[in-house]
Amino acid sequence: MSITHIVSYCILNELIHFACPAIYGIFISSLCFFLCVVNVVCPDKVPGLQPWMPGFSEAHHVTIGFGRKVLLTSSATIHSIEILNGGTLVIADTNQPIFLRAKHILIGNKGELHIGSPDCPYKGNLTIGLYGRSDDSDEGHTYFGRKYLGVGTGGTLEVHGEKKLSWTFLNKTLHPGEGNENSYQFERSWGNRGIIVHVVEPKTGEVLHSDRFDTYRSKDESRRLAQYVEAVENGQILAMVVNDEGSNNLEDTARKALVKLGSRHFHRDGTASISIDIVSNCTILELADEAQGWRPGDRLVVASTDYSMHQAEEFSVLPCPTCSSNQVKVEGKPAFLHMGELVDGVDMRAEVGLLSRNILIRGEMEAGCYGSESCKFFSFDTFGGHLKVERGFKAVHVQGVELMHMGQQSMGHYPVHFHMNLDVDQRGGYDPPTYVKDLSIHHSFSRCVTIHGSNGLLVKDVVGYDVLGHCFFTEDGPEERNTFEHCLGLKVKAGTLLPSDRDSKMCRDITDGAFPGYIAKPRQDCSATSTFWIANPNNNLIDCAAAGSEETGFWFLFHNIPTGPSEGMYSPGTTEHTPMGRFINNRAHSNYRAGMILDNGVKTTQANAKDKRPYLSLVGARYGPHQDSDPFKPRVPALIHHFVAYKNQDHGAWLRGGDVWLDDCQFADNGIGLTLASGGTFPDDDGSRQEVKNSLFVGESENRGMVVPDSRIWGPGGLDHSGRTLPRGVDFPIRGMQIYDGPINVQNCTFRKYVALDGRHTSAFAFRLNNSWQSCPNNNVTDITFDSITSRVFFGEPGPWFSEMQMDGDKTTVFHDVDGSVSEYPGAFLVKEDNWLLRHPDCIDVPDWRAAICSGRFAQVSIYIQARNPANLNMTMVKDEYPEHPLELVGALGKRNHYQQYQPVVTLGKSYTVHWDKAAPANLTVWLINFNRSVTLYTLPYTGIVCFFHSLATLLETPTTTTVLSCVFFCSLATLLETPTTTTEPCASFTHWPLY
């Protein structure tokens, strides 16, 4: 509500007359100035508003309608407010706080609620309290439920609080127990006489070195003291104490050195009195940005910078007239270490989020949990308030608001919820587009911001803290073009609503939706609580931070078909092929499972006897982005730029798909830095690849964390084997780049501080543990730099975490060192030391890597063998020149499957023999994958039905409804290459060609 006047000023410069033959002309030259005078009229100053003071009565039902426009000028308690049929409620911006309590506020058709405006932010203090219990006797609304602020069809909600900095970073590290000062205790290990000196590390209080100088006895000791003092580095602390006597032979050079440092003269006093300033219980935070709008009394949260998200801490702002614009003083001392700097090249600065706003919408809570199934899991009341927006609203813009104790442990009731709104930007006729900005959502009982069946919403500068269930949540699958910009989520905990929200206990105990008798598998069906839960890749995430979740920071997953009320909005499989929106400058740390996952889907069918899992349980999915979401159109790579992942216990990132490309990323202190997984057993999206370029991997940084009660995650590490927090345990094999599936490309990356210890196999490159699936020989590594690395590669050995190394993928690991930057042999293939399918006499063993470096004179090929009837056989392959070294493969699939898959890697120009542990399968299919297509590998001798697919393209050309009962008989390779793929005739014999 603002009025703009445009005033025009024109200056007539001159009137010019001139004559030309047969032409007379008059030109008027003028200069016009348009001065825009903006006369902002704040919502509560618009003429015609009627002052309203409804008083205090929980029985008072208020309806504002039929063009009535009222101004709330004082605190009030009422049962409910419904704004309908052209009614308008405006909250007065006064010097006195206003506290409005209601069971619900409904903004219906043509109703409007205004609290400030974009040009006139609300500057007072307003609290809207939503009260009520889940078991109240009055009936809830059929759409909105209870305890809500609801925007219905035709409704307008404009809330604009004071503009404040939403969140920023620490610019100086905070040490536990300290603000600007750090503690140090001078232990009594003084010797007998003289001056005792300790040199102290200022950040940790650690004594770096110490010495004693008997300056009573010897002038040489005095000169040694002077030299010692001069050698102390700038920035270190020098602590001194005199025991008995030290001045007798203290020479002038030593005296000057001590006086220069601030020493005073004392002589054999029986007692000495000193005075110090009292250290107050406060801390100065140095921030990366100016603390705009942060005032005494505001609450802040500082994120964890270690593995545990529970090291996030809250503080209250104190007055600080001496603080600079990027400093704030807070009450109390930190209990944990919070980094405020780049560490080993990785930005590990703790996020600092503002929790307080001058407009507060909060749920009023009971003292404890009552009357619901959620009380099995939570001791506190989880029936908070909620804000919900219905399809067809007129306008919604919410900015500068604190939402506390919002959300309910029931479907559809969240702190901010856009429900089935379709397009909420210009495409939907909304101008300006719909947004929620500068929100602080904390101590929420169900999510932060939920986007359900809605597109084009801007979610910007939102802080979500201490939340149950996925925080920033897209629900059904069709949600597109939404933008999460500069949003922070931290301390995101499990909730009960969906299988993916639940932790292991909830997953086992909540059986609703499961087929009778089904026993849940928590790590497969559930356990996916995430800060950002993105059900459609066509959304934008820019400058966001996932700073602590029970499971994952960012999780991209897929609904094969849209679920819930969005059913039918797209055809099956669409989102698995939808190009990714912008993913730029995001960061994730202090998460358990991963900083980021791009993988999996949700079950889109109800539980039944065939698949007993509950609806929306986690299932497998494959991502292959293509133009227009059409797998038959060109591929479109998903680009992940400048992603930072540190202190995630399991993975920095696990990304499965077709073309997924990372550039300029940073991974540090993760159990496993990065895993790129392909579309499955062979490239699901033919021709695609995954790659990481121009990125940094750090194994164990100088962010050592702090001692914690759980000794399992504290132990030695790094080059100096000093104590530090560990991702999983003292013997967990920390890996930088985990090679799995393929093809992948790792180019121009630096690996730093991967240090193996006795009993712990740390390495820059390694492989997935206990792996059934193939390794691709087209996994290419080039232009790699190593810094402070004791083990570049480790292929594994039987033992803790590695088990027996008897699974198919464990035996067939391989990658291509294109330029020799890993092995120092350009073009070499690195293979497992006992893989005799690939070894040859020229291979060089590297025992510390459990690997062999083999020349690349022979192209390498993966064979994909699918066996049926039976499907439970073990296959043994022998390279004919090494008959004493067979390789047994048990198959990648379970023995109960109707077919089995085997994926050996072989070398061209060599012959191999395949044996089965029982009678050979009646049906055998062979695919040739991951090889240079100018070279073709063909067959093994076989009697029976044999089908040869020349390429994946050939397979795709075969109609899926065709049952292959016969195949082409070829007497030569040339015949096969020349024969159309549609030709079929009965197989009369078997083919036998060498491998070329």
Q: pLDDT digits over 555-565, tens only? A: 999 999 999 99
Q: How confident is the model at residue 660 (pLDDT cuts 50, 70, 90)?
A: very high
Q: How much of the chain is helix, strand and coil, in % rounded to 5?
A: 10, 40, 55
Give 564's DSSP letter.
G
Report the predicted TM-score, pTM, of the whole model to 2 decimal places. Answer: 0.84
Q: What is the pLDDT of residue 984?
A: 38
Counted residue by residue, the chain has a size of 996
Domain(s) of CATH 2.40.30: residues in the chain? 167-173+279-354
Going 479 to 164 to 545 to 353, the CA torsion angle's sign is negative
Going 130 to 133 to 138 to 143, the CA torsion angle's sign is positive
pLDDT digits (tens, 9 = 90+) for 783-832: 999 999 999 999 999 999 998 898 998 999 999 999 999 999 999 999 99
d(CA 474, CA 536): 8
Q: What is the pLDDT of residue 190?
A: 52
Region 494-503: mean pLDDT is 98
Does the pLDDT at position 15 exceed 90?
no
Q: How far apart are the first and last CA of the chain?
A: 78
Query: Residue 943: which of 928, 964, 924, 926 has the closest Cα?
Result: 924
Q: What is the pLDDT of residue 982?
A: 43
Region 600-611: mean pLDDT is 97
Greater confidence (791 vs 908) lies with 791
Q: Which amino acid appears at position 748 of this protein?
A: N
Q: What is the pLDDT of residue 488?
A: 99
> What phi and psi, each to the nearest 5 degrees, are found at residue 43?
-55, -40
Which contacts of 955-960 are long-range, i.e. CB under 8 A and separated by 24 or more positions? 955/927, 956/686, 957/981
d(CA 107, CA 743): 55
Does the pLDDT at position 695 exceed 90?
yes
pLDDT digits (tens, 9 = 90+) for 18-48: 333 333 333 333 334 444 445 788 999 999 9
Q: Three-state SS for 970?
A: coil
Beta pairing, strands 750-752 & 785-787: parallel
Buried residues in 861-883 as b, exposed as e (16+ CB within 10 A): bbbbbbbeebbbbebebbbeeee
Query: Residue 475: which of 540, 407, 536 has the closest Cα?
Result: 536
pLDDT digits (tens, 9 = 90+) for 57-108: 999 999 999 989 999 999 999 999 999 999 999 999 999 999 999 999 999 9
Question: Which residues, other chains included, contact 908 with Cβ-Cβ below 8 Å and sequence gap of 6+?
Answer: 858, 859, 860, 861, 935, 937, 995, 996
Q: How many Å is the Cα radius of gyration of the chain?
A: 35
d(CA 155, CA 113): 8
Question: For residue 432, is the peptide bond before it cis, meaning its omega torsion is within 30 degrees of 0?
Answer: yes
Q: Which contiguous run of DSSP H or E holds residue 230?
A: helix 219-231
pLDDT digits (tens, 9 = 90+) for 310-322: 999 999 999 999 9
Do 479 and 450 meet the contact criterion of CB atoms below 8 Å apart? no
- Alpha-carbon distances of 309 from 81, 179, 493, rounded to whole Å: 40, 21, 10
CA 244 to chain CA centroid, nearest Å: 59
Greater confidence (651 vs 223) lies with 651
Q: What is the mean pLDDT of the chain?
A: 87
Region 541-566: mean pLDDT is 98
Q: What is the pLDDT of residue 867?
A: 82
Q: How confident is the model at residue 8 (pLDDT cuts 50, 70, 90)?
A: very low
Does the pLDDT at position 995 exceed 90?
no
Please state which architecture CATH assigns to domain 167-173+279-354. Beta Barrel (2.40)
Percent of the chain with pLDDT over 70: 83
Does the pLDDT at position 865 exceed 70?
yes
Query: Residue 596: which of 557, 631, 568, 542 has the closest Cα?
Result: 557
Greater confidence (927 vs 680) lies with 927
Percent of the chain with pLDDT over 90: 68
d(CA 92, CA 652): 49
Structure tokens at 78: 């009422």
Q: What is the pLDDT of residue 3?
A: 38
Does the pLDDT at position 848 exceed 70?
yes
- Alpha-carbon distances of 390 from 63, 482, 981, rounded to whole Å: 19, 17, 55
Going 148 to 151 to 152 to 156, the CA torsion angle's sign is positive
Region 423-427: mean pLDDT is 98
Does the pLDDT at position 683 exceed 70?
no
Region 938-961: mean pLDDT is 47
Greater confidence (255 vs 597) lies with 597
Does the pLDDT at position 911 exceed 70?
yes
Q: How confident is the model at residue 195 (pLDDT cuts 50, 70, 90)?
A: confident
Q: What is the pLDDT of residue 276?
A: 43
d(CA 652, CA 552): 10
Does the pLDDT at position 533 exceed 50?
yes
d(CA 148, CA 895): 53
Going 206 to 208 to 212 to 218, the CA torsion angle's sign is negative
Q: What is the pLDDT of residue 92?
A: 99
d(CA 114, CA 133): 27
Q: What is the pLDDT of residue 961?
A: 39
Q: What is the pLDDT of residue 274?
A: 45
Q: What is the pLDDT of residue 678?
A: 81
Q: Three-state SS for 428?
A: helix
Region 481-491: mean pLDDT is 99
Q: What is the pLDDT of residue 932?
A: 62
- 735 strand-pairing partners: 672, 763
Structure tokens at 446: 């169900």
